[in-house]
Amino acid sequence: MPAVPARILPTIVISQFAATSLWFAANAVMPDLQRSAGLPASAVGNITIAVQLGFIAGTLVFAWLAIADRYSPRIIFFLSTLAGAAANTAMLVSGGEFLPLLAARFATGFFLAGIYPVGMKIASGWYNRDLGLALGWLVGALVLGTAFPHLIRGLGGDLPWQGVILSVSAISIAGGLAMLLLVPDGPHLRAGAKFDPTAFAAIFHSAEFRASAFGYFGHMWELYAFYAFLPVLLAARLGSDAAMVSVWSFAAIAAGFLGCMVGGYLSRGLGSARVAFMQLSASGLCCLVSPLAFLAPMPLFLAFLLFWGVVIAGDSPQFSTLNARFAPPRLVASALTIANCIGFSITIVSIALLAWLIETAGPRYVFLMLVPGPLLGLLAMSRLTAKLA
């Protein structure tokens, strides 16, 4: 088999990073929107939920129609970046009205289903033996993309929120264009199995898949709620310095890239189950001690958030690997789709819970509500880690 061209993995990773920057673009400018349009504090939860709902709907539609199997995935990726960028830009014509804003974010999430999972399929067309490491890079790219709008907002100086949104849309399109022009369909690319929504019972009949899937669900309970409300937590300590809030939001979220990469290399020796268990344990402990960390001196508080950012995302590639490994072979595509949809549905519940509590309890204590996710995930994973020891 010919060697994979050196440009392939960097291009896929950079394209994934650029395109997934659409995900939290609105969150990065929420303080501006709240000031200009008079949106309530709970709006940050609602717009994040809208993106998650859109992604769930898009994932189901893309899987049901087998779009990435019927057409070249790199073309689907490019077209999805165009559509996602257009939906993101539609925020500018919403006039700050809440329902149009939610519709724009839902549409953005829908087309992200043609970016994140399809990017993984493109990688699978090029990498067979080293696919696990490639997916580690891709999930890391997603983490960086999630964080990137906060960096644009933090370093943008007097850049208005509309400029942040337009910048993110342009960067997304550039990523899609790079994928289209520089990454041809790979030699290992093949059609996936047809999505079967009736396979739910067969998928969860496997004890190993149940363990990895429920560990993943616990991870998802925590992950996106942390991402959504991290700026609120930082603002409570840093005050009105919006630029510093954005920069540190970027730093804490982007630290997850390190967690993904280090976890990927550790999994070669320790196995994915152990690495996922260790990182989920660490992130759950961060939830538990978050009220105390809030009172710590500022350097220690910021260091704590950086560590939390590393471990909260670092188990994502490992759970993806475990779910694919333990899914019934004839139902891998369906199993991963169903697990992802359940996982993202869980994020909606945790985000809504924190949005409701944060107005009454304040940001110091609400992250305690995330503890049950990692705890239940660890309980589900314990038998699996013991079995694979």
| Whole-angstrom Cα Rg for the chain | 20
What is residue 128's predicted lDDT score, i.e. its pLDDT? 67
Q: What is the pLDDT of residue 191?
A: 67
Cα dihedral value 269, 273, 279, 283, nearest 10: 180
Specify the CATH superfamily of domain 195-389: MFS general substrate transporter like domains (1.20.1250.20)
For position 383, what pLDDT does the model report?
81
Specify the pLDDT at position 193. 64
pLDDT tens column, 148-167: 999 999 988 778 999 999 99
Which residue intervals of the chain bear CATH 1.20.1250.20? 7-185, 195-389
User: Within 13 A of 117's CA, how many CA atoms are on the CB side?
Assistant: 26
Written as one string, the DSSP assignment of 222-235 is HHHHHHHHHHHHHH
Q: Please list the alpha-helical segments (H only) found in 2-42.
A: 8-19, 25-28, 30-37
**CB-count burial class (<10 Å; 0-12, 13-18, 19+) for 74:** buried
Which pLDDT belongs to residue 389? 57
Give the chain's residues under pLDDT 50: 1
CATH superfamily, region 7-185:
MFS general substrate transporter like domains (1.20.1250.20)
Give the pLDDT confidence score for residue 265 in this predicted structure: 82
The stretches of the chain forming alpha helices (DSSP H) are: 8-19, 25-28, 30-37, 43-64, 67-70, 73-89, 98-112, 116-126, 131-155, 161-182, 200-204, 207-238, 242-270, 272-294, 298-314, 316-326, 332-361, 363-366, 372-388
Q: What is the pLDDT of residue 388?
A: 67
Could you tell me the pTM of the whole model?
0.91
